[in-house]
Structure formats: structure tokens, C-alpha cells
Structure 1
Amino acid sequence: MIALEDVCCAFDHEPVLRHISFTIKKGEAVLLTGPNGSGKTTLLRLLNGLVFPEIGTYTFEGTRITAAKMREHRYSKYFHQRLGYVWQNPDAQLFCASVAEELAFGPLQMGLSEEEVRERVEDALSYFSLTKLRDKPPYYLSGGEKKRTALASIFTMNPAVWTLDEPENFLDAESQHWLAEFLQALKKAGKTIIVTSHHPDIVEKVTDRELRLTADHHLADA
């Protein structure tokens, strides 16, 4: 489903990813680890078509992902429906005037009917315990409420692939336990999961294997 072959990426001539190669099968759950600055977030951004390899290739479902390909509106829309990205900091992800609008934004961009959008939003509000916050602006929420809203906004898109950058951030112990159960539910539903975490005990029950980025930006199977 996902394949990287000899991928290199640099910012301001500083290497961030060096000769990264791996494949991820449909329905597989992968834990991505490594020290701070090893390139984990950059790798997730690359998988989501936000940055691109300077060397090497990234292939998603048989299609090579390049800047030119992502400028094709029809394909880009399809691609972003297939992959969901939960950012490490929810403030970078949330931008609508209310929680309900945040949850509706993705399905509306998909062109779903008003009834379908409403059903998805109501289901997500209930599932993520956000019903009482539906009309509240996201910037007034607590850190944990923002994180649940960010997760819910991807949930309403129902992507085949979930990429999550330290999803346990901002969550208290009870919510982290809920997160572990949520990831297990995604796994049982056949979703492909790629998650970074500094607390592997939270996600270890759902992941099939670990990929570890080293301090010099290479990848080593752990």
C-alpha cells in the first residue's frame, strides 16, 4: 500500500531523512520511533504529501507521489480522503469557528450530502465525548479537548490510513487509556496505522512492528 525507496529529504541543505526504504501493507499498524530531531514528523508529512523526496520515490497504492501529482486537484482530493493526519500539536490542525464545523469540514470537502455529513458529525461528537462542546470555538478548548477534536475531525473523513504524530500528547492518563482502545478499534476495522510515540506502552498492543529512525536520520528495523 505504501512504499518508500531510497528516500532522502533535506531542509536548507541539512539532511532530515537519509536513504529511507520500507513498505507498509494494507491493515498493518506501525510504530515509528526515534530521538527528537531524527525526522519522524518530516516522514509523516512526506507520507501525507506535504513535503516530497529530493532523492528516491514514495508510492501510495501504486501511484508515485510528487509535487506535480499533488497539484492535480482530483487526485489530491482523493489522496487526502485516503490518508488522515493527526498533527502533534492540535493548534496546527484546528481552524474552524466551532467544534461541529471542524468535524463537518472534511466530509463537506468530500462532497457528501448534508444528511451524511450531519450523521458523521453527530456520531463523532458522541464517540469522542464532544457533544457539550459542539458550538465552542476550538481555541477555547483545553489541550485534551483539542486533541479529541483533532482526532474526531479525521474520524468523520473515515480514511483508510491513519497517521498520528504523538497522539497521546495533551491527554491525561484516562484519555490515554481511551486512546489505546481507540487505536485497537481502528486496527480491528482494518485501517492502516502509522503512529509516532514517546510512550510505546500506550500503542504497543495495536502495532505489528516498529520502525526506528536514528539520530543521523537513517532507518533501522527495531
Structure 2
Amino acid sequence: MIELDDVCCSFAHEPVLRHVSCQIRKGETVLLTGPNGSGKTTLLRLLNGLVFPELGHYRFEGTEITAARMREHRYAKWFHQRLGYVWQNPDAQLFCASVEEELAFGPLQMGLADDDVRERVEDAIACFSLAPLRKRPPYHLSGGEKKRVALASIFTMNPAAWTLDEPENFLDAKGQEQLVAFLRALKAAGKTIIMTSHHPDIIRSLADRELRLSSDHSLVPSGAVQV
């Protein structure tokens, strides 16, 4: 489903990904780990077509993802329906006037019928216990509530692949338990999951394998990492 071939990326001439090669199969759950600054968030941004390799190739379901490809509106729209991104900080993801509108935004962009949009919104509200928050502006919510809304907003789009940047951030112990249960349900449904974490013990049991970036921004050889 996802293939990285000798990918290099830098910002302001400083390397942030160095000769990264890996494959992630459909339905696989991968935990991406590494020290601060090793390039985990950059790798997730690259997978979502927000930054692009300077060298090497990134292919999603057989199609190479480039800046030119992502400027093709029809393809970019399809791509972002197939691959969902839960940002590390929900403030970077949420922008609508109410929780209800936030949940409806993605399905409306997909061109779904109004009844289908309402059904997806109600399913997400029930799944993430958002009924008391549905009319509230996201910017008035707590960090944990914002994270639940961020997860729910991707849930309404039902992507085939989920990328999650430190999804346990802002959640209390109960919220983290609910997150693990939700991720288990995604895994059981055959979704592809790639996630980072600063608390990998919380979600390591979900992973089929671990990919670890080192401080020099390259992947640790797979045989050196055990899940």
C-alpha cells in the first residue's frame, strides 16, 4: 500500500529524513518511534502529501506522490479520502464553528448526500461520546475533548489508512483506554495504521511491527527493533 524508496528530505539545508526505505502493507499496524527531532512528524507529513522527497520516491497504492501530482485536484481529493491524518496538536486540525460542523466537513467535501453525511456525523458523535459538545466551538474545548473531535473528524471520512501523530497526547487515562479500544477496532476492520508515540507502551501491543528513526534521521535496521 505504501512504499518509500531511498527518501531524503531536508529543511533549510538540514536533513530531516535520510535514505528512508520501507514498505507498509494494507491492513498493517506500524508504530513509528525515535528520539525528538528524528523526523517522525516529517515522515507522517510526507505520507500525507504535505511535504515531498528531495531524493527518492514515495508511492501510495502504486502511484508516486509528488508536488505535481498533489496539484491535480481530483487526485488530491481522492488521496485525502483514502489516507487520514490526525495531527499531533488538534488546534492545527480543527477550524469549523462547531463540533457538528467539524464532523460534517469531510463527508461534505467528499460529495456525500445529506442523509449520508448526517449518518456519519451521528455515528462519530456516538462513538466518541461527543453529544454534549456537538454545538460548541472546538476552540472552547479542553485538550482531550479537542483530540476526540480530531479523531472523530477523520472517522467520518472512513479512510483506508490512518496516520496518527502522538494520538494519546492530551488524553487522560480513561481517554487513552478508549483510544486503544478504538485503534483495536480499526485494526479489526482491516485499516492500515501508522502512528507515532512518546509513550509507546500505551499502544505498542497494537503494532504488528515497529519502525524506529535514529537521531541521524535514518531508519534503524528492522532486525534491530522488536515490537
Question: Is TM-score (shorter-chain normalized) higher than 0.5?
Answer: yes
Structure 2 counterpart of 1:125, which letter?
Answer: I
| Structure 1: runs of 5+ lacking an equivalent | none
Structure 2 counterpart of 1:185: 185
Structure 2 counterpart of 1:129: 129
Structure 2 counterpart of 1:82: 82
Structure 2 counterpart of 1:207: 207
Structure 2 counterpart of 1:219: 219
Structure 2 counterpart of 1:43: 43
Q: What's the secondary structure of 2:206's corresponding residue?
A: coil
What is the aligned residue count? 222
Structure 2 counterpart of 1:5, which letter?
Answer: D
**Residue by residue, what CA displacement relative to the aligned partner does 1:88-141 show, whole Å, maximum 9, x if unpaired?**
000000000000000000000000000000000011011100011000000000
> Are the aligned partners of 1:184 and 1:205 in contact in 2 as well (CA < 8 Å)?
no
Q: Distance in 1 between matches of 2:159 and 2:72?
A: 20
Deviation at 1:205, TM superposition (A): 2.0
Q: Give the share of equivalent positions with the same residue, in percent.
A: 77
Structure 1 counterpart of 2:172: 172
Q: What's the secondary structure of 2:88's corresponding residue?
A: coil
Structure 1 residue runs of 4 or more that deviate by more than 6 Å after TM superposition: none
Q: Distance in 1 between matches of 2:6 and 2:23?
A: 12
Structure 1 counterpart of 2:94, which letter?
Answer: L
Structure 2 counterpart of 1:46, which letter?
Answer: L
Q: Distance in 2 between matches of 1:201 and 1:53?
A: 31
Deviation at 1:161, TM superposition (A): 0.3
Q: Distance in 1 between matches of 2:174 and 2:201?
A: 14
Q: Distance in 1 between matches of 2:103 and 2:188?
A: 23
Structure 2 counterpart of 1:117: 117
Structure 1 counterpart of 2:208, which letter?
Answer: D
Structure 2 counterpart of 1:161: 161
Q: Distance in 2 between matches of 1:198 and 1:42?
A: 15
Q: What's the secondary structure of 1:219's corresponding residue?
A: coil
> Where in structure 2 are the equivalents of 1:130-149 lying within 5 Å?
130-149=130-149
Q: Distance in 2 between matches of 1:111 and 1:205?
A: 37
Q: Does 1:152 align with 2:152?
A: yes
| Structure 2: runs of 5+ lacking an equivalent | none
Q: Distance in 2 between matches of 1:217 and 1:104?
A: 37
**Residue by residue, what CA displacement relative to the aligned partner does 1:14-53 show, whole Å, maximum 9, x if unpaired?**
0000000000000000000000000000000000000000
Give me the TM-score of the superposition, normalised by structure 2.
0.97
Structure 2 counterpart of 1:94: 94
Deviation at 1:202, TM superposition (A): 1.5
Q: Does 1:61 align with 2:61?
A: yes
Give me the TM-score of the superposition, normalised by structure 1.
0.99
Structure 2 counterpart of 1:104: 104
Cα-Cα RMSD: 0.5
Structure 2 counterpart of 1:66, which letter?
Answer: T
Q: What's the secondary structure of 1:79's corresponding residue?
A: helix
Structure 1 counterpart of 2:77, which letter?
Answer: K
**Residue by residue, what CA displacement relative to the aligned partner does 1:161-191 show, whole Å, maximum 9, x if unpaired?**
0000000000000110111111100000000
Structure 2 counterpart of 1:42, which letter?
Answer: T
Q: Distance in 1 between matches of 2:203 and 2:58?
A: 26
Q: Distance in 1 between matches of 2:122 and 2:24?
A: 32
